[in-house]
Structure 1
């Protein structure tokens, strides 16, 4: 199968390309800069994108386009995600139009598994509603995600709702921004640390993409590990892994002044996700079913995110 990967230089893309090649796909990356094995276009430039996709002549398109800064200010989330939001709306429209015109018959897109409404019991399945009244800074991000999912579903494609992404190049990598902050003792337990995190290693995200290309599933699937875990449990353990100071407690009302409403919600309200449907629909299993194992491998340098 000829596969065009848009967003090939991101955390998932870098793990995905060698996997696709190893299973026999003919891979082309979409890039804004020329390099070997790429077609060149900006996804927001409709004409250039149509030319590039026509040149690649893909059977399938993988949509991983984002432009997330290495460090995100939770008080300015809407600003920091403005370009990513455009890529998920305008870019998605342009990419899928170009894919259809080039004859592609399959699309797979990257979504988020931590946008579920926090009012609910246990890990969320794909049938659970997304956040009904999101924090103000998260609202445009969620709106863009909804549009991406609608366009992907209308195209008969699969949306892989990824959890908190870790692995090489992520903020949770050994040299990532979040880990640096934990080492410095700058990540507190806000509002009791009640957020439930479902993590996804980059390798597991990549294997899910490979599986989705061969399956007929339409709509969203949660691509997360098997063990949703509250922040109050995993953050202190991560600090111990790093030999860093134990995180201090911070009341939500005080934290709001520093990190805003979205920062408080991120630390205290998020809901974990259930991966049972992805296991059944894609015959997919995470290499790292427990976040602790994945983080240990990542921090010890024994995970490169590419090996099968």
Structure 2
């Protein structure tokens, strides 16, 4: 009998690819989204679509009790269509609520109903600064700029409560998603901003970014069901400096070369968190995922 999998957050960027890869394995799928417009697409991929507000604890429990899944894949987010400082600040509280409160409802019901395994989305790009590539045991950047520090604490809380639960847990720390339905497409948010000259470089823009194609991230997630529990960095094998990827990205989307701002100008224009992204992010090692999950990510497509 095939595994019965419940995907929470199936309307997000990684949700549809997750369904596709899980179907290839023959799993029985139930995909929850709060977006009615995604329902038909989910069903066309072979999953049973469920309209669900994860902030409604009673509804969460009723749905899980009716389905009795073997596995929950929690990829809950609430992110804007436009990747800008103002949009990220606006959506931050809702994203935190959905992940922490909504995810808490899922985990509570999962424990009560005897769910065997729980997979959780996390991030591979908020490690504390240091030499070389960060590994899964490296602490998060709790002392970063305020917005990033708050994000790292949210990840830490959500990861820790899952690890402390009786359920077999797998934490997927993804790099920045690119590919279909992400901000990095030519006609999506960052492609448009690049052509409008709204994505500047910054002096000493040496922050190291970890990217992963959305399809590779989805495949690794489903492959993790056949591996031992644990935490995995899911990003490609060549973390890259901010200045290098942005110059290459602008060429790919037919944008003019980006202008360069001083750090003072950049902070005024983009804010402290985005300056941190440009100058201070740390690369992450994916060796564990390569070894344990047979992870084979493609190189960044616009280089």
TM over 0.5: yes
- Cα drift, residue 84 of structure 1: 1.1
Question: Residues of 2 paired with 1:33 and 1:87: CA distance?
Answer: 14
- Cα drift, residue 13 of structure 1: 0.6
**TM-score normalised by structure 2 residue count:** 0.91
Show the counterpart of 2:255: 244
Q: Which ranges of structure 1 fall in alignment gaps of 5 or more residues?
A: 297-308
Change (3 A) 1:97 1:133: same
- Cα drift, residue 242 of structure 1: 2.4
Question: Residues of 1 paired with 2:163 and 2:266: CA distance?
Answer: 38
Question: Residues of 2 paired with 1:56 and 1:250: CA distance?
Answer: 53
1:193 aligns with 2:205: yes
For residues 184-204 of structure 1, the C-alpha deviation after alignment (integer angstroms, 9 at most, x for no partner) is: 222111232211111111101
1:67 aligns with 2:82: no
Q: Tell me the secondary structure at the aligned position of residue 81 of structure 1.
A: helix
CA contact (8 A) 2:136 2:233 kept: yes
After superposition, where does 1:205-216 map in structure 2 within 5 Å?
Answer: 205-216=217-228
Relative contact order, higher structure (CA 8 A, sep 6+): 1
For residues 3-60 of structure 1, the C-alpha deviation after alignment (integer angstroms, 9 at most, x for no partner) is: 0000111111111101101111000011235645123321111111000111221000
**TM-score normalised by structure 1 residue count:** 0.89
Aligned residues: 290
RMSD: 1.6
- Cα drift, residue 78 of structure 1: 4.2
Question: Residues of 1 paired with 2:211 and 2:140: CA distance?
Answer: 18
Change (3 A) 1:140 1:160: same
1:276 aligns with 2:278: no
Question: Residues of 1 paired with 2:250 and 2:51: CA distance?
Answer: 42
1:54 to 44, 47, 65: 65
Q: Which ranges of structure 2 fall in alignment gaps of 5 or more residues?
A: none
CA contact (8 A) 1:182 1:239 kept: yes
2:190 to 154, 157, 178: 178
Question: Residues of 2 paired with 1:104 and 1:38: CA distance?
Answer: 20
Show the counterpart of 1:92: 103
CA contact (8 A) 2:79 2:88 kept: no
